Amino acid sequence: MERPRVLLVNWRDTGHPEGGGSERYVERMAEGLARAGYRVEIQCAAYPGATAGEWRDGVRYRRRGNKFGVYAHALRAIRRARADLVVDVQNGMPFFARLVAGCPVLVLVHHVHKEQWISALGETLGRVGWWIESRLAPWLFRKCRYATVSEVTKAELAGLGIERSRVTVVPNGLDAPPPCVSGRDASPTLVAVSRLVPHKRIEHAIDVVARLARRWPSLKLEVVGQGPWDEVLRAHAASRGVADRVVLHGWVDEQAKHEILERSWLHLCPSVKEGWGIVIMEAAAHGVPSVAYRAAGGVAESIVEGRTGLLAEDFDDFTAQVDGLLADGLRRAEMGLAGAERAGKFSWDASVGQFESLVRDVSGLPAPRPRVLGKVARGRALAS
């Protein structure tokens, strides 16, 4: 019997220079489905240095088109695929899979993008984008099931007219952190792990350092991540007089990232919007509390306020929360312990199990026979 086929259409993969937590989620779900016995493909955008296709961890990747052209290539792939289910990953803009798919469509939404459209595209195009996300997409997918990563996003989708009964929450998982040799830094150290793009607002983390510099003479900020906003952030740190206190590491490997988290006192997440915030839980696994904005969506779920971190109302409050936790070592330690305990309850295996159950429910497929992936299935490049 032929293995059931699942096609996921996504804007990027984790190798893309702008790839982040949402891409990691998609790939973990895809890899889990492959292990469970499905034939899984991901259609996404091409980028410099990437092959047009490859097999990785049992998943076939096809990369076509740029950030805009990827949509046309995805529609072509959906139409040609003999898939049993298509997962339309709606990162603001849907792939309109329902127009051409000859099978059920599951819509995956990490968070709603209302605040980001205008900042990314300007007033006119931003309004068009928000209309597509908030009006056209809910109508187009009115008979489809949805998956999302938090109850916060589920409530936001309900606000767009998508019935709660059609939305299933499958939370992000978490890898156990690797052994680290770093100890907590003797000097107050802040960390922000993020793609360097405007809506992540890493400027706010830099501004916190500038605001608290006199009170905390040895305060520093380590920023981990890459993106088009790198030079803007370097210039911003210089303009605020804290270039010597802010280290922009760019991309680092997983071990280096965890070493930086391990030595930090607090993790800052000043993003406009997050569906969940995987890095909040990664920091928590190292006993590092997070400070984020309450209005940023899923962070109000990944952070248990007052227990594993704090939520701020505005920048002044954000700065005050950071200052307070830097000064209160006992409270910071208690939050760190609570966060580490909570982080231990999340796993990718559990999330994949929930996602696979949803796939079977939506597609009507029986559970396939699990596969054991050999070395041949890992990282084999394809010509097409």
| DSSP notation for 178-238 | PP--PPPPSS-EEEEE---SGGG-HHHHHHHHHHHTTTSTT-EEEEE--STTHHHHHHHHH
- The secondary structure of residue 134, as a DSSP letter, is I
CB 119 within 8 A of CB 200: no
CATH superfamily membership of 189-343: Glycogen Phosphorylase B; (3.40.50.2000)
Q: What is the pLDDT of residue 126?
A: 85
Determine the pLDDT at residue 336.
Answer: 97
Architecture in CATH of 5-173+347-368: 3-Layer(aba) Sandwich (3.40)
Segments making up each domain of the chain, as ranges = 5-173+347-368, 189-343
Per-residue pLDDT of the chain (384 residues; tens, 9 = 90+): 688 999 999 999 999 888 888 899 999 999 999 999 999 999 999 999 999 999 999 999 999 999 889 999 999 999 999 999 999 999 989 999 999 999 999 999 998 888 777 767 778 888 998 899 999 999 999 999 999 999 999 999 999 999 999 999 999 999 999 999 999 999 999 999 999 999 899 999 999 999 999 999 999 999 999 989 999 999 999 999 999 999 999 999 999 999 999 999 999 999 998 888 899 999 999 999 999 999 998 899 999 999 999 999 999 999 999 999 999 999 999 999 999 999 999 999 999 999 999 999 999 988 887 866 554 444 444 434
Q: CB–CB of 278/111 below 8 Å?
A: no
Q: How far is CA 131 from CA 86, 89, 241, 308, 371, in A?
A: 23, 18, 41, 36, 42
CA–CA distance, 229 with 195 (Å, rounded to integer): 9
Choose among 90, 95, 32: nearest CA to 64.
Answer: 95
Go through the chain and tell me how many residues it has.
384
Contact 273, 296 (CB under 8 A): yes
Same fold, 5-173+347-368 and 189-343: yes
